[in-house]
Structure 1
């Protein structure tokens, strides 16, 4: 440095404290946001690297293992399923499995625990023999023809040239036609792997040339196990109920659940357990225990307390539409618990017990009507300019209808002359017609539910046997055969039938029976299929009686002697001969009075 530069009067250059040291020399700068740039989101960090890591797709993995072990590997695969179930991940794993090679292994295999020669390049998307394309951006036929021009060339490095086409349903008709010829006669060195979320949009001609795998929605309990594994690996703690909330909100998508977990982890304080309340707020969910309380209040016919509970939830930020969805879910859960049992509900035991108690206290018909009303209410809330007010009105309507009799009970009361309105509710505010709507509500309800007059006079059915007799009288042969074969009666009341469907019962049997009985009797019918507990169907009873009669006849001494006398003889059929009526000539003579 020159001497004049060191003179006391010389001006030193201005120092920037952020970029220079005390002498003005530049200092090395740490990369800005280095930690955030290096962070890998959970959904990518824990993406399955082997087939054993795929959650909830055991059936597909088992089929692929059998195919690879026997050498029966298809030339094209079609992977379908909702978002986030692992379609693209499976496609990349398949590409690795097809081209797997190590010093000891030189054939396709699904055992990918050890990284092969081509695995790293395929995972990173830079292998020249594995082409991953998005059909949404290459829909034109020119793009497909350009792609297929390279099919005839052999792979450069790997065993197979693999084409992965995501969202294949987005291809145009011309593109599908161009692809079809190659799929009909594919070169032996080429494999196609297609993925789609809308399998119905893929032409049948394409589907018929692919081995199809439907990736299932992953059950919430399986997703919870995956999330628990991730939290342990990440060294974070999340409340178990919070993980269940995430799993249910993911709707079967593991990727969505992992993304929500990523967001949930940063909700809590470092080193502390992330509580379920924070996750519920993050997801915009109402407190499930409170919405169950709301459901209980509506079922007891308590509109006032129900509105107060909803307004408390609304004040804490609950979305009105989400509250209605929760009520719909509670109606569904109560129905499932009634049909199967509380063990079928995936939720804390205390909550499952409360919903099961609701299901046990009301009929299946009531729950079915409630479901329909909630569906309509949810639609109203979504379209209303004031969703909170729409929820208030829906709760009042639901509480009013909760203790009203169903159509079958109302008709019975009309026939017997009893009041149609329900009994007053526990709080006095959710009672019957008189307490809800004044003097005219019962009469109005009766007019609505009363059967329309029928010219012939509606028949009155007092038992299930009367129903079968009416069907036979109306000569509806198909319905009679189905009812006799598949209906196992559980209970019968005029206007209401509960039955257990026998195996193989038509899905529309209840609706057909409802329509016919309404047409023939002139009154509405509520017919519900239950999970079990039904008596024998008429066909089953007839077969059992035939077996009993046959067993009795086979043990008859005379029949046993006949069978011994004629070795090899068998009883082909059993018929009941009609008892001959006594003729007048056979009648005993009357005694003369004389």
Structure 2
């Protein structure tokens, strides 16, 4: 009976071109050999099973090959290559630092480094899991690593670069190996399956590659396991059954149930999944990854991020067309919260079920929200001079001199009419009050006290947003303008902030119909602008002038320069009497 060799050893790379997924590193090493730019120390670091030790062996074999090919690959026919392939080469030395990590082991290595190679030009020392060396061993190794003999080259390999001393790192050329991509793993597994006469579905190879998590050694071990389980013909179902992986179809069916709002179907599918022995946390993580893949498949630019077979990729694209973006965003948010709270939950199954119910209600709640918005849009609003003044119930036009009044209803259903009376509803609440940046003296000069407004009955604040359409053109006087502005504050129940902004400075009349409200700062200007249309409409009605326009202007207040330090005060005095500066300079005086 022939001895069985696992695929990870049987198909271990023997030349640079057979290394999977590390093209940038293999090209760099080949160029170094081509240009004879070989360093004395290399550090290969990266996850497990990505080819660190294999690249170190290939590199060691290639630089000692006496008949190197035109593309700088080992010939496998010369004495050095044959000795290496038969594991009897005295030029290549491998040390496992996990078990040989003491100072004595490093001293033995240092003594061995002095011996020149028998065949070839270099002695290569491959130290695997070098991060396992003790601190004393590292320190003993420093001098030899920095200045080895001309024939010695060190290749260190590790999965945990952060554990290596910085002094060691500084003496090496560092190569970071990447996780092997799913498509690269699938391609390599296909080649091995053909060599082994194994027929396997591409979806199954994708599951193997994803389960390996970027490690080719793990992928080959899983491949051997599944071949032992299923024989030479392997289906996708047998792969997921052997690896205890949840089928893609469960996730696709569950998302379809979310979109249809079928809560009962979702709960039954969850029960079936749990009865098959799948972990609930694993299911939540898988569903989150599935929703992410659906989101990625929604944009042609990001479809390439899907690490699945072409047939499954097409399924993702089709399902992404059914899923609105806001549904996917909300689903990811809900599943993330479920994932975070899973371990702390006392009833983990109930937590998953509640999350799935929330996912099933996203579309339904969205539909209800749209219907509510559509109903709101059916209620049209009156706009007078660019300002919404209420919701139409029915226009009632009454002719009173030059004024036409419109009856309106507020958002709560209360009807307001021209004489500011209210029925069947609640009035409009005034805005929040904020502190104003004006002085107490300015507030007193405004002529309106806070108590006058506070003494108003509460129902006065619930005034309607009725405005009048005016056709008159009476002239504006300064006295009437100031009186009506103060009256506007009281009638409309405005806050102290608005009162001070409008009345603290005397307004100006420019021309026949332009009223300029003088403000003290930009904040007051913003306050005036917020009620500008309302003030204009009020003045038009009360002053019976339909051409009134409102403008704002900031008063430029000149303030004296403040003097904070002795130097400021002295400079101010020097401006008054320059002789002080000459006196200070002549006697070299200081302020202290």
TM-score, normalization by structure 1: 0.57
Distance 2:433 2:82 in 1: 81
How far the C-alpha of 1:315 sits from its partner, in A, is 3.2
Task: Give the corresponding residue for 1:285.
Answer: 245
CA pair 108-158 structure 1, distance change in 2 beyond 3 A: farther
Could you tell me which runs of 5 or more consecutive residues in structure 1 were left unpaired when the two chains were aligned.
1-33, 419-452, 458-594
- The structure-2 alpha-carbon separation of the partners of 1:298 and 1:141, relative to structure 1 and needing over 3 Å to count, comes to farther
Q: How far apart are the structure 1 equivalents of 2:222 and 2:434?
A: 64
**1:131 match:** 93
1:383 CA displacement: 6.3
| Map of 2:114 onto structure 1 | 152
Return closer, same or farther for 1:209/1:360 CA change in 2, 3 Å cut-off: farther
In the alignment, is residue 315 of structure 1 matched against residue 269 of structure 2? no
Alignment partner of 1:165: what SS?
A: strand
Cα distance between partner residues in 2 of 1:46 and 1:383: 45
Greater mean alpha carbon deviation, residues 38-47 or residues 393-402? 393-402
Distance in structure 2 (CA, Å) of the matches to 1:331 and 1:76: 46
Does the C-alpha gap of structure 1 residues 147 and 300 become closer, same or farther in structure 2, counting only changes over 3 Å? farther
Conservation of the 8 A alpha-carbon contact between 1:129 and 1:158: yes
| 1:85, distance to aligned residue in structure 2 (A) | 0.7
Aligned partner of 2:257 among 280, 285, 297: 297
Residues of 1 paired with 2:342 and 2:303: CA distance? 30
Q: Distance in 1 between matches of 2:200 and 2:139?
A: 51
CA distance in 1, matches of 2:366, 2:241: 39
Query: Pairwise CA RMSD of aligned residues?
Result: 3.3
1:205 is aligned to: 167
Question: Are residue 40 (structure 1) and residue 5 (structure 2) matched?
Answer: yes
Aligned equivalent of 1:190: 152
* Aligned counterparts of 2:5 and 2:434: Cα–Cα separation in 1: 76
Q: Deviations over 1:441-468 (max 9, x none)?
A: xxxxxxxxxxxx99869xxxxxxxxxxx
Instruction: Give how far 1:226 is off.
Output: 0.9
Select which of 11, 15, 21 maps to 1:56: 21
- Point out the structure with max Rg over C-alpha: 2
Q: Structure 2 vs 1, CA of residues 173 and 268 (structure 1 numbering), >3 Å: closer, same or farther?
A: same
Instruction: From 346, 353, 369, give the equivalent of 1:392.
Output: 353
Aligned-residue offset at 1:170: 1.8
- Contact persistence 1:338–1:359 (CA under 8 A): yes
Separation in structure 1 between the aligned mates of residue 432 and residue 191 of structure 2, nearest angstrom: 66
- How many angstroms apart in 1 are the aligned matches of 2:434 and 2:159? 55
What CA distance in whole angstroms lies between the structure 2 residues aligned with 1:373 and 1:156? 66
C-alpha separation in 1, matches of 2:256 and 2:72: 51
Q: Hey, what's the Cα distance between the residues in 2 that align with 1:186 and 1:246?
A: 43
Q: Secondary structure of the equivalent of 2:113?
A: coil
What is the Cα deviation at residue 163 of structure 1?
1.1
User: Which residue pairs with 1:330 in the alignment?
Assistant: 290
Contact kept, 8 Å, 1:373 with 1:398, in 2: the verdict is: yes
1:85 to 34, 39, 50: 50
Unaligned 5+ runs, structure 2: 379-430, 436-592
- Structure 2 match to 1:374: 335
Question: Which piece of structure 1 moves more, 307-316 or 295-304?
Answer: 295-304
The equivalent residue for 1:515 is none
1:162 to 2:117 alignment: no
Contact 1:79 1:212 in 2 (8 A): yes
CA distance in 2, matches of 1:99, 1:343: 41
Name the residue aligned to 2:469: none
Q: Does 1:214 align with 2:179?
A: no
CA shift for structure 1 position 47: 0.7
Q: Among residues 179, 202, 206, which one is paired with 1:240 in the alignment?
A: 202
Residues 214 and 404 of structure 1: CA distance in aligned 2, closer, same or farther (over 3 Å): farther
Which SS does the other structure have where 1:267 is aligned?
A: helix
- 1:48 Cα deviation (Å)? 0.9
SS in 1 for 2:48: coil
Partner SS for 2:94: strand
Cα distance change on mapping 1:374 and 1:75 into 2, 3 Å: same
* Cα distance in structure 2, aligned partners of 1:153 and 1:138: 20
Whether contact under 8 Å (2:206, 2:309) holds in the other structure is no
Please state which structure has a larger fraction of its residues in strand.
Answer: 2
Q: Output the TM-score relative to the length of structure 2.
A: 0.58
Tell me: CA distance 1:99–1:372, structure 2 relative to 1, closer, same or farther (3 Å). Answer: farther
- Structure-2 residue corresponding to 1:306: 266
**How many Å separate the matches in 2 of 1:268 and 1:236?**
10
Q: Kindly state the Cα deviation for residue 158 of structure 1 after the two structures are TM-superposed.
A: 3.9
Distance of 1:388 and 1:209 partners within structure 2: 54
Change in 2 beyond 3 A, CA 1:296/1:148: farther
* Separation in 2, partners of 1:313, 1:299: 20
The answer as to whether partners of 1:289 and 1:351 remain within 8 angstroms in 2 is: no
Contact kept? 1:331, 1:370, Cα under 8 Å:
yes
Residue by residue, what CA displacement relative to the aligned partner does 1:180-231 show, whole Å, maximum 9, x if unpaired?
A: 2222222111000011111222233222222222222111111111111111
Count residues with an aligned counterpart: 378
Match of 1:70 among 8, 14, 35: 35
Evaluate the alpha carbon distance shift between residue 163 and residue 394 of structure 1 in structure 2; reply closer, same or farther with a 3 A threshold: same
Which residue in 2 is equivalent to 1:229?
191
* 1:132 alignment partner, SS class: strand
In structure 2, do the counterparts of structure 1 residues 293 and 113 end up closer, same or farther at CA, with 3 Å as the change threshold?
farther
User: Do 2:259 and 2:323's aligned partners in 1 also have CA atoms closer than 8 Å?
Assistant: no
CA distance in 1, matches of 2:255, 2:33: 52
CA–CA separation in structure 1 for the residues paired with 2:178 and 2:432:
51
Is 2:261–2:363's contact at 8 Å kept on the other side of the alignment?
yes
Q: Look up the match of 1:471.
A: none
- Aligned residue for 1:117? 79
C-alpha distance in 2, partners of 1:179/1:75? Answer: 14
